[in-house]
Structure 1
Amino acid sequence: MAGITGLGGSGMDIDNVVKTMVTAEQTPKKNQLDTVEKKATTQLTSLGQLKGAISTFQTALTTLNSSSQFLARTATASDGKVLSATASQSATAGSYELNVTQLAKSSKVALGAVSSDQAKAFNEGTLSISIGDTKLSDVTVTSSNNTLAGVRDAINAAGKDQGLSATIVSDAQGSRLVLASTKTGSTANISVAVTEAKDTDGKPTGSNTSLAAFAFDAASASDLSSLSDADKVKGTGGFINKAQGAILTIDGLQVKSDTNTVSSAIDGLSIELKSVGSSSLTVAEDRAGVKSNVQKFADAYNSLITYVNSATKVTTVNDNTAPVTGALTGDSSVRSLVNTLRSELIAPGASGSFKALADLGVTTQSDGTLKVDSDKLDKAVSGDFAGVAAYFTGDTGLAARVGDRLKPYTDTTGILETRTNALQDTLKKVDSSRKDLATRMSALSDRLYKQFNTMDTLFSQMSATSTSLKSLFDNMPGFVSKD
């Protein structure tokens, strides 16, 4: 409530006095709540960042503990322009000599040409289109689609799920449909059989341009380039591309494939043919991938330790100023986490030829982070690939052991989650205490305004009484005022 100034009575600035008294009463508790809130918020943020760093480390551990990572194989071609390949875990390490003499191609044909006048209206009937042994839905030509463009659209609708498309190309002989397939292989040529509708008199329905221009017999058709001059003038159709399969040799053994992806010639290998030519193909253990995963493990661990070092650091300013401390300085759970991880990293391996990270070139530096000696790691991976796998993978491997040590901290009911929940509860209590404080201060303000206003009114009344008495005494007979 607003207070009067008191200028009509005591002259006191009640507003200022009340606000000053309320502030004096409120400030210690407000400062206390601010301190608690700031500390809890800072710790909550730091724990969130810590959990993020641990999560990244756990991901690296999971990758490192995957036996498939150590079973992975690489396939490298000496000439990437000729072919590329991918290897599954079943691929056997070795090398092969490949010679690609023919790539797989799909069929592309140009149907017979018609003049612009002929293209305006065709007889009614049916086009039966096949791609090798695969027959498409019949294309029905009626009065609603009996133009060249209408037939094109009908073919595209029938062939869209089979990889067949039609376009109109105009050349010196007229306009014609060009059909293209995506299916490769020596038997995947396009054929078109035509059946014209007849009326009761046996005449073609429509009496327009014959559908015969659309007929195409893959068995007897020639390449466009080999047509006679007379056939070219007539606008006879022909092959632009004949369908064919891929032909190659692997170490001298001939292999044929309907597609340019050869996946059954060598167990565990999928070979993608790109051009005619020769290339060697080498299948090997994915040593580079394993080295990369070990480095990612070290990098993730280093990020975790670097953050912990920063969050628990104590920085001395000077002799007269308290040191600056990190948000998690003195946190026993963080110290316990770091000590647990360090003890597991130096624990000897349970099996295999490698007993310590140092044997693989991974050592601990003065700040607690890991350093990877790439040359030593490469030597270990090259010399005993199975031994490196045994050290990291399996239930007793380093990755699993470290992961087990993290669980008490990272589980949904673990140490870090419990700490997080406690800090969130603290922030909720701070919010509640702020509301309670605001309510108390509002009541205090109301009470003080009431008290001071009552006092000011009383003072005003006493002042009026004093003035009245002075006037009375001044007017009394025989009373002499000192003034």
Structure 2
Amino acid sequence: MASLSSLGVGSGLDAESIVTKLVALEKQPADTLTTKNTKLQTQVSTWGKIQSNFSALQDAASKLMDSSFWSATTAKSSDDTAVSVTTSSGAAAGNYAVSVTQLAAAQSVASSAFTASSTPVGEGTLRIELGRYTTNNSTTPPAVTFAAKAAATAVDISIGPGDNTLEKIRDRINTANAGVSASIVTDASGARLVMRGQNGEENAFRVSVTESGTAPGLSALAYSAATGDTSAMSRTQTAQNAQATINGLNVSSASNTMSNVLEGVTLKLNKTTTTPATVNVDLDTASISKGVNEFVTAYNSVVSTIRVQTLYDETSKTGGPLQGNATARGLLSQMRGLISSNTSASSTFGRLSDIGIDINKDGTLSTKSSKFNDAMGKLGELQKFFAGSSETDSSLNGIGTRVKNLTKQILDTTSGAIANSTSGLNSTIKRNKDKIDDINDRAGLIETRLRKQYSALDTSMAKLTGLSTYVTAQLAALNKSA
């Protein structure tokens, strides 16, 4: 007899539906656990949002504890085209009159014109030395001497048959790290090698040449401004320092950017002046105010997020993912208690309300600009109020210090409240997944057994049906013969 292709064919029963429903009944507990895991995953995600909010609050509190935050400055120049200014940590407030009499410049020399950049020059050795040219005006004529720079070493550049053209010599100079760069200028007169140093008197240079007897000509690139020396190259620009006066005090720099001539202040000299540029350095109260507002915003985000996630909405009859969660509500209570506490860190300000920051009914903070602006007029006490710190007396800890310490505990990855809650949820999710796998494995075995049983039933019923048909046919034949 041919095998049956699907359940129920032999018996006439809807065996496929019966097996499907029986297996579904076996899997119902797994479906329940899957739904539960979905809710638990939502809780894990919610704790992630809360963790992110606490992390932002910790960063905002840490910023308020940084001494450089309270001493931040901003600077302005009356003439940025002549003197531009920036400040960094350590700058002191003040006003400065800056006159620029000379900009820093680099020595530049140029060779005589060659036919082309590919023209052979000669072979031998170029020696490049950095240093300073000094003029002695007590002699007639004035004598010029060269003194090598103490921190620099002379660089010898060998020019052989393979690199004796103007362009190859340029390349050899540029890769020698000698403190000098080279380029080729080509015009109607031909190609000239130009060598340029760095800004500043001590970065002047001289070029000495030792020629190869078999391929002379390299002396065309010699240069020295010292008395008694010979030069084939011409100086087109003299190395010099920037010269300026700050409130009448003469200052000099090898660079046109003067860093820390005034502590924490960087002056960039852009051109010489006929009248002084006024540079004002003031406390950056705007950034301080912004930092305090960022702290308020970060705190409000923590409070609002926990409230929403633990809230029960009477209108929709639904609760947040952490509704009734004791840990979340405990964190909210801790933050509210801390933010409303009194601190003795400042002799002027004790509570947030003293500096114009009020606590609203929902636990969030709001700022009264007029009162806060008055507090900004006492920055030293405001800094103490937020950043005061004591290892022996907690009452002397400022609000920012307290918030940072608490958020550090909450965010601890091994023992913090958020880590513990998330770890517990993930453990439950894993156990549920293991149970789901067990239930599905068991349901699979049951399905296999049921299919075998119904398949056997189909086979038996098919045989009986065939026998019944045969008997009926035989009886009908006997009745006809009778």
TM-score band, normalised by shorter chain: 0.7 to 0.9
Give the corresponding residue for 1:192: 207
Is 366-375 or 391-400 further displaced after alignment? 366-375
Q: Deviations over 1:371-396 (max 9, x none)?
A: 23344323212x21100000011321
Picking from 328, 331, 338, the partner of 1:337 is: 331
Is 397-406 or 66-75 further displaced after alignment? 66-75
Give the corresponding residue for 2:49: 49
Give the distance between the partners of 1:35 and 1:121, measured in 2 at CA: 85
Give the distance between the partners of 2:343 and 2:123, measured in 1 at CA: 81
Picking from 219, 239, 244, the partner of 1:212 is: 219
Q: Are the structure 2 counterparts of residues 32 and 72 from structure 1 closer, same or farther at C-alpha, using a change threshold of 3 Å? A: same
Give the CA deviation at 1:465.
6.9
What residue identity is the alignment partner of 1:274? N
Picking from 438, 441, 447, the partner of 2:440 is: 438
Picking from 248, 253, 269, the partner of 1:252 is: 248
What residue identity is the alignment partner of 1:177? L
Normalising by structure 2, report the TM-score.
Answer: 0.83
Give the distance between the partners of 2:193 and 2:469, measured in 1 at CA: 120
Matches for 1:220-299 after TM superposition, within 5 Å: 237-263=233-259, 265-277=261-273, 278-299=276-297
Give the corresponding residue for 1:450: 452
Give the distance between the partners of 1:305 and 1:401, measured in 2 at CA: 16
Give the CA deviation at 1:462.
5.7
Secondary structure of 1:120's match? coil
Give the distance between the partners of 2:476 and 2:120, measured in 1 at CA: 132
Establish whether residue 360 from structure 1 lines up as the match of residue 349 from structure 2.
Answer: no
Picking from 291, 298, 301, the partner of 1:300 is: 298
Give the corresponding residue for 1:35: 35
Q: Is the 8 A contact 2:30 2:435 kept in 1?
A: no
Give the distance between the partners of 1:157 and 1:245, measured in 2 at CA: 26
Give the distance between the partners of 1:295 and 1:330, measured in 2 at CA: 31
Give the CA deviation at 1:299.
1.5
What residue identity is the alignment partner of 1:438? N
Matches for 1:87-98 after TM superposition, within 5 Å: 87-98=87-98
Q: Is the 8 A contact 2:310 2:329 kept in 1?
A: no
Q: Deviations over 1:63-95 (max 9, x none)?
A: 111122123333332322222334454443321
Give the distance between the partners of 1:176 and 1:120, measured in 2 at CA: 11
Secondary structure of 1:144's match? helix
Give the distance between the partners of 1:476 and 1:270, measured in 2 at CA: 124
Matches for 1:375-386 after TM superposition, within 5 Å: 375-381=370-376, 383-386=377-380
Give the distance between the partners of 2:465 and 2:260, measured in 1 at CA: 114
Give the distance between the partners of 1:249 and 1:476, measured in 2 at CA: 138
Is 410-419 or 133-142 further displaced after alignment? 133-142
Q: Is the 8 A contact 2:71 2:283 kept in 1?
A: yes
Secondary structure of 1:35's match? helix
Give the CA deviation at 1:417.
0.8
What residue identity is the alignment partner of 1:212? S
Give the CA deviation at 1:279.
1.6
Establish whether residue 148 from structure 1 lines up as the match of residue 166 from structure 2.
Answer: yes
Secondary structure of 2:268's match? strand
Q: Is the 8 A contact 1:190 1:218 kept in 2?
A: no
What residue identity is the alignment partner of 2:297? D
Give the CA deviation at 1:220.
6.5
Q: Are the structure 2 counterparts of residues 11 and 251 from structure 1 closer, same or farther at C-alpha, using a change threshold of 3 Å? A: same
Q: Are the structure 2 counterparts of residues 71 and 472 from structure 1 closer, same or farther at C-alpha, using a change threshold of 3 Å? A: same
In structure 1, the gaps of 5 or more residues are 198-203, 222-234
Secondary structure of 1:339's match? helix
Q: Are the structure 2 counterparts of residues 455 and 122 from structure 1 closer, same or farther at C-alpha, using a change threshold of 3 Å? A: closer
Q: Is the 8 A contact 2:7 2:454 kept in 1?
A: no
Is 134-143 or 464-473 further displaced after alignment? 464-473
Give the corresponding residue for 1:228: none
Q: How much identity, in percent, do the aligned residues show?
A: 32
Is 464-473 or 124-133 further displaced after alignment? 464-473
Give the corresponding residue for 1:201: none
Secondary structure of 2:207's match? strand
Q: Is the 8 A contact 1:74 1:283 kept in 2?
A: yes
Q: Deviations over 1:103-136 (max 9, x none)?
A: 111112212223459x633333222222323454
Give the corresponding residue for 2:136: none
Is 274-283 or 430-439 further displaced after alignment? 274-283
Give the corresponding residue for 1:423: 425
Indicate the RMSD between aligned Cα atoms, in angstroms.
3.0
Picking from 353, 370, 373, the partner of 2:368 is: 373
Q: Deviations over 1:331-364 (max 9, x none)?
A: 1111111111111111112221111112222222
Give the distance between the partners of 1:350 and 1:326, measured in 2 at CA: 38
Q: Are the structure 2 counterparts of residues 442 and 205 from structure 1 closer, same or farther at C-alpha, using a change threshold of 3 Å? A: same
Give the corresponding residue for 1:177: 193
Give the CA deviation at 1:187.
4.1
Give the distance between the partners of 2:318 and 2:13, measured in 1 at CA: 46
Q: Is the 8 A contact 1:3 1:15 kept in 2?
A: no
Secondary structure of 1:284's match? strand
Is 81-90 or 385-394 further displaced after alignment? 81-90
Q: How many residues align?
A: 445
Give the distance between the partners of 2:54 and 2:360, measured in 1 at CA: 20
Q: Is the 8 A contact 1:108 1:190 kept in 2?
A: no
Give the CA deviation at 1:457.
4.7
